[in-house]
Amino acid sequence: MSARYAPRRPFPAYAYLPGRDPHPTGDPAGHSFRSEPEPAAAYIEPAAWRDNEDYRFGVDLYNAGFLWEAHEVWEGLWHAAKHDAQQAEFLQGLIQCAAASLKVRMQQPAGVRKLAELGTARLERVARATRGQFMGLQLREFVDAFSAFAQSQPVDAELRPRIELD
């Protein structure tokens, strides 16, 4: 597993898979049922990504296979960043790549292809506008690796490329 970027934040008890596991917040058996709701994510400038613990925790979740949970964390950040078109585009790209990886586990190859295409296209647009790096991620390397993963007709989500931050 990759290095942790938010090591003080514990992982959930299980990685939620729709149709297999109790919904984390909506089912009494869910790993986060009746827990205190997370405060709304705050907007943090992209250049200060190292100070954005939610972003870094989303990376940890994604890298460790908590794909639905990573999607949820990044979605909160996406809502906070809607006024920052570039950061919102970047976060939505990550969300869609995490969702594509989740579709591998759900055995939905059409969903994998569609979400991977959407997510990598968003990340590619950000890469073109930022010389290839954004919020610590080398976008072109990740886009190439994720595209290759999705095009391989994957049956194992553990083969997805991991996110390494500089």
| Residue 39 lies inside a defined structural domain of this protein | no
| Residue 9 lies inside a defined structural domain of this protein | no
- What is the Cα–Cα distance from 126 to 25, expressed in whole angstroms? 33
Q: Determine the structural domain holding residue 114 and report its residue range.
A: 50-159
| Residue 58 lies inside a defined structural domain of this protein | yes
Distances 64 to 25, 45, 73, 98, 118 between C-alpha atoms, Å: 20, 25, 14, 11, 23
pLDDT digits (tens, 9 = 90+) for 91-115: 999 999 999 999 999 999 999 999 9
| Residue 61 lies inside a defined structural domain of this protein | yes
For residue 130 the two structure tokens come to: 């930022």
**pLDDT beyond 70 at 2:** no
CATH of the domain at 116: 1.10.3450
| Residue 13 lies inside a defined structural domain of this protein | no
Q: What is the mean pLDDT of the chain?
A: 94
Res 84: pLDDT? 98
Residue 33 has phi, psi (to 5 degrees) of -65, 130
Q: Higher model confidence: residue 40 or residue 152?
A: 152
For residue 109 the two structure tokens come to: 């190859």
The tally of domains found in the chain comes to: 1
Enter the pTM of the model: 0.95
| Residue 90 lies inside a defined structural domain of this protein | yes
pLDDT digits (tens, 9 = 90+) for 14-60: 999 998 888 888 888 888 877 777 788 999 999 999 999 999 999 99
Sign of the four-CA dihedral 137, 125, 78, 148: negative
Place of tokens 């940890």: 60
Radius of gyration of the CA atoms of the chain, in A: 15
Do 117 and 103 contact (CB within 8 A), yes or no? no
| Residue 99 lies inside a defined structural domain of this protein | yes
